[in-house]
Amino acid sequence: MAWNEKANEAYDGFEEKMKKAIVVLENDLRTVRAGRANPHVLDPITVPYYGVPTPLQQVANIQVPEAKLLVVTPWDRSLLKDIERAIQASDLGINPVNDGQCLRLVFPSLTEERRRDLTRDVAKKGEEAKVSIRHIRREANDFYKELEKAKEISEDDCFLMGDEIQKLTAQYIEKVDEAIERKNAELMEI
């Protein structure tokens, strides 16, 4: 782009913020249980370890030996009960089986009703990401209008930057739609 350096740097910054919104969405979608074992569903779970809430991944080994089974093996066996309680207290809807050495989490097939609930949750997360991207667009447009008021860019350049930001916004909204579509297809698999 042929605009001043400040406008170009700002454009790159706004694009980076939109990329981060997509990364946040994809991380959120990873935690949605899709009927098959996915270790990322345990990401939000923390376990009290020496009085400090610690992410489960930092105190246990998580394996996926089968498509519908997760095995959680704590490095410190004394944590087994705490991990079991933390998983039961989460909204996973899975009851771990404790064999004294590790916890086995069997993922049952999702019911049709549960699949529809999850697709609604996924759509909600997608809409939140879109709102975030649109907020970044508004922030960018306001920034370029301020530059125009300060006479750092012309009115035409402000209009062109607004147009470029709109194209960028449409591009990232499309990425959100693609991520939602992929997750919904995964959820509706039987």
Last residue of a domain, one of 106, 129, 156: 106
Cα distance between residue 99 and residue 105, in whole Å: 11
| CA dihedral over 22, 25, 30, 35, signed as positive or negative | negative
Do 91 and 48 lie in one domain? The reply is yes
Output the CA–CA distances (angstroms, integers) from residue 140 to 12, 19, 36, 96, 157, in the order listed: 11, 14, 41, 48, 13
- Mean pLDDT value of segment 170-189: 90
Instruction: Indicate if the pLDDT at residue 1 is higher than 50.
Output: no
What is the domain range of residue 129? 5-31+111-188
Do 130 and 176 lie in one domain? The reply is yes
Give me the long-range contacts of 27-31 (CB less than 8 A, separation at least 24): 28/125, 29/122, 29/125, 29/179, 29/180, 29/183
Do 117 and 167 lie in one domain? The reply is yes
- The pLDDT value given to residue 91: 74
Cα distance between residue 175 and residue 77, in whole Å: 43
Total domain count for the chain? Answer: 2
What's the pLDDT band for 38 if we cut at 50, 70, 90? confident
> Where is average pLDDT lowest: 4-13, 97-106, 139-148?
4-13
Instruction: Indicate if the pLDDT at residue 190 is higher than 60.
Output: no
166, 141 contact by CB (below 8 A)? no
Which domain CATH number covers 86?
Answer: 3.30.1360.40
Do 102 and 115 lie in one domain? The reply is no
Do 130 and 81 lie in one domain? The reply is no
Last residue of a domain, one of 75, 106, 137: 106
Backbone angles phi, psi at 136, to 5 degrees: -65, -40
Write down the pTM of the prediction: 0.72
Which domain CATH number covers 145?
Answer: 1.10.132.20
Identify the CA nearest to 178 among candidates 20, 12, 11, 29.
29
Last residue of a domain, one of 106, 135, 154: 106
Residue, of 115 and 131, whose pLDDT is higher: 131
Give me the long-range contacts of 139-146 (CB less than 8 A, separation at least 24): 139/14, 140/10, 140/11, 140/14, 140/165, 141/165, 143/10, 143/14, 144/7, 144/10
Do 78 and 142 lie in one domain? The reply is no
- Mean pLDDT value of segment 154-168: 90
Instruction: Indicate if the pLDDT at residue 35 is higher than 70.
Output: no
Do 53 and 20 lie in one domain? The reply is no
Cα atoms in the 13 Å half-sphere on the side-chain side of 132: 19
Do 26 and 79 lie in one domain? The reply is no
Instruction: Indicate if the pLDDT at residue 174 is higher than 90.
Output: yes
Do 130 and 178 lie in one domain? The reply is yes
What's the pLDDT band for 169 if we cut at 50, 70, 90? very high
